[in-house]
Amino acid sequence: MSFEPILTKYRHEKDSHTIDFYRGHGGYEQAKKAIHDWAPDDLIEEVKKSNLRGRGGAGFPTGVKWSFVPKQTDKPKYLAVNADESEPGTFKDRVIMETDPHLLLEGIMISCWAVGINTAYIYIRGEMVHGYNQLVSACKEAYAAGFLGKGIFGSDFELDVTVHRGAGAYICGEETGMLTSLEGERGQPKLKPPFPAIEGLFGCPTVVNNVETLANLPFILEKGADHFRSIGPEKSPGPKLFCVSGHVEKPGTYELPMGVNLLTLINEHCGGVWKGRKLKAVIPGGSSAHVLHADECDVNMDIESLAAGGSMLGSAGVIVMDETTDMVDALLNIMKFYHHESCGQCTPCREGTGWLEKIVHRLHQGRGRKEDLDVVFDVCDRMIGKTICVLADAAAFPAMSFIDKFRDEFLAKCTNSDRSTAQATSGAGGVNV
């Protein structure tokens, strides 16, 4: 069955980022209808009915998250849009922000009307200079058109949107770390509860939504929750942006129904593994996801299917590795990243990520011991679920799965393994050196 893109339909059109182009294709009509025709509670129920799940990694139902925000409160309410997108292998949100920023703004307006929010912040990763400029320009256009500010669409509703640049910290992709950064403090995660919906930004009720999540809202209002649920699997419906990088002929961002088969995505949409080589492994959900061996890749790309397959959808950052990939080298690259990005607040993460990098680095240099592989699992066990946020888990998951799925490659790097001794002997022409 053919699928027509929804979120990226106009990404290659000239001037797709401008308000004139956006309005020329029906832009802002759904926000106008929301404000004039939808009671906030009814709108929340419609989003619940659609079963739109968060596209930032956790997959939490969007309408349910909105319903947690207290309706009666003396405090202001906030929307914090997570546009940090710092998960390695992930580049989907930037496509929306760079080519169709008004789609995000309309989603923000719908969300804020539903929850009773008058102030929204877009927290964008600092390195995304082009995306930042596009968003700032889009906000200026929306204010000039009367779509932001006071008296939106002739109603009493008012909304202000601020675009805030981060400083390039991975930890600020975690929602409470992002909120702490927005408050002007060092971006460190906070203990939960209280959850942001009750006590978030500046101690006030806050909704945190991902860019791609909000971009789905105009379509849901236009076509209805039932139509949205008809796309993809029942438990994880809707269109999905998949970021494919690594060893494929055509890397890039692909919009397909949630639940597309991973091998179909790689072979039919991305042109297959490059240079005629064989598939060796795939990380399906960004670098923090468990790696899949080639023979495990006949799996559907949705939350439940990947969980059943021993990994996770995460941010849908699909990293493809061909048969020539050195898995020890690949893991070392990942461990360096997480060690560098740990905020240092929690001892298991601060020390654990450091130990993991040191051990894998020793293995990479061919100076490891068989016992090091067991030590990696022991260190990971002392990290998972024992810290304020899940950065420790994000480092531990690939460490364990790489060694579990490709143990022979790691043993070959150990000085006291039969595998390494055999290879050394073979490499010396049969003479034991």
Q: What is the pLDDT of residues 305-342, one digit of tens each?
A: 999 999 999 999 999 999 999 999 999 999 999 999 99
pLDDT score at 82 = 97
> Which domains does the chain possess?
19-229 (3.40.50.11540), 239-322 (3.10.20.600), 327-419 (1.20.1440.230)
Q: What percent of the chain has pLDDT over 70?
A: 96
Question: Residues 236, 108: contact at Cβ < 8 Å?
Answer: no
CA-closest candidate to residue 34, choices 220, 164, 170, 184: 220
Average pLDDT score over residue span 67-77: 95
Report CA Rg, the chain: 23
Q: pLDDT tens digit string along 224-273?
A: 999 999 999 999 999 999 999 999 999 999 999 999 999 999 999 999 99
Helix (H) or strand (E) holding 283: strand 279-283
Rounded to 5 degrees, what are φ and ψ at 246?
95, -145
Distances from the Cα of 61 to the Cαs of 101, 152, 204, 211, 257, in angstroms? 23, 28, 21, 15, 17
This prediction has a pTM of 0.93
Strand partners, 429: none
What is the pLDDT confidence band of residue 2, given thresholds at 50, 70 and 90?
A: confident
pLDDT confidence tier of residue 425, bands split at 50, 70 and 90:
very low
pLDDT digits (tens, 9 = 90+) for 171-200: 999 999 999 999 999 999 999 999 999 999
Residue 420 above 70 pLDDT?
no
Q: Which residues of 158-185 are buried (b: 16+ CB within 10 A; e: fewer)?
A: ebebebbbbeebbbbbbbbbbbbbbeee
How many residues are present in the chain?
433
When pLDDT is averaged across residues 122-134 and rounded to a whole number, the result is 96
> Is residue 433 very low, low, confident or very high in pLDDT (cuts 50, 70, 90)?
very low
Could you report the per-residue pLDDT of 353-383, keeping only the tens digit for each?
A: 999 999 999 999 999 999 999 999 999 999 9
Evaluate whether 206 touches 197 at the Cβ level (below 8 Å).
yes
Q: In the prediction, which pLDDT does 416 show?
A: 77
